[in-house]
Amino acid sequence: MPLWKRIFVEKRVLMIPLVLGVAGNLAAYALWVYPLGVKSAGAADRAVAATQSLQAAERELTAARDLVAGNSRADQELATFFDKVLPADLPSARNLTYATLPTLAKKNSVKMIDRRFEVSAVEKNSRLGLLKVHTAWQCEYENFRQFIYALESASPFVIIDDVALSQGDATRPLTLTIELSTYYRVAAHGT
C-alpha cells in the first residue's frame, strides 16, 4: 500500500475534516472571494477612468471659459478700435493724414514735395474703407529716419505700405517716397 493511502486510512478522522476544509475554502474562493475581487478591480478601474474623464471635462470647461472671455475681450478691443482709433469717415481720414503729415515733417525738418490721395472702392457689406496716400519728401537721411519714427509712433492710425529712398545727384538732397494707407469707418449704406 502506498504511503499516502496508508496515512489517509490511519488518520481518517483528521484527514476528512481537513480535506473538507480545503475543498470548502477552494469553493468559497472560487464562488465568492474571486468574483468580489474581480468586481472590486473593475470598480477601481472605472473610478480611475471616471476621474480622468472628470479632469478632461474640467480642462475643456476651463478652455471654453477662456475662449469666451478671450472672445469678449477681443470684441471689446475691436469695438474700441472701431470707435476710438479709426477715423469716423473718409473726410476725417483725409483730414487726419492731411494735418498729421505736414506737422510731423516740419518737426523733423523734412520738406514735402508731393502728396496724392487715392480712395479704394468699398466692397459690398464692408465696414471699412481704405484711403491710400502717396507722398514724396526731401531732406537729409537722419531727418528721414526721425520722420519715419515719428510717423510710426504718432497716434493716428496710419500704415506705412512702402518706403523708397533715392538720390538723383550727389549734390541734391535725398528724396523719400512713402506710400501710406489708413482705414476709416463706412456708413451703413456704403459711403
pLDDT in tens, 126-141: 888 888 999 998 988 8
- Which of 122, 108, 102 shows the shortest CA–CA distance to 190? 122
Q: In terms of domains, do 180 and 94 share one?
A: yes
* Boundaries of domain holding 78: 3-82
> What is the C-alpha separation between 33 and 25, in angstroms, rounded?
10
Q: Where residue 93 falls among pLDDT bands split at 50, 70, 90?
A: confident
Residue pair 132/181 in contact by the 8 Å Cβ criterion? yes
Q: Give the model's pLDDT for residue 76.
A: 87
Query: At residue 190, does pLDDT exceed 70?
Result: no
Q: In terms of domains, do 110 and 179 share one?
A: yes
Q: In terms of domains, do 47 and 101 share one?
A: no
Q: In terms of domains, do 77 and 104 share one?
A: no
Out of 82, 104, 128, pick the residue that ends a domain.
Answer: 82
Residue 190 counted as domain residue: no
Out of 43, 62, 82, pick the residue that ends a domain.
Answer: 82
Out of 38, 63, 82, pick the residue that ends a domain.
Answer: 82
Q: Give the model's pLDDT for residue 140.
A: 85
> What is the C-alpha separation between 59 and 1, in angstroms, rounded?
74
Ramachandran quadrant class, 142 (left: phi over 0; alpha: psi -120 to 50; beta: rest): alpha
Residue 124 counted as domain residue: yes
Residue 43 counted as domain residue: yes
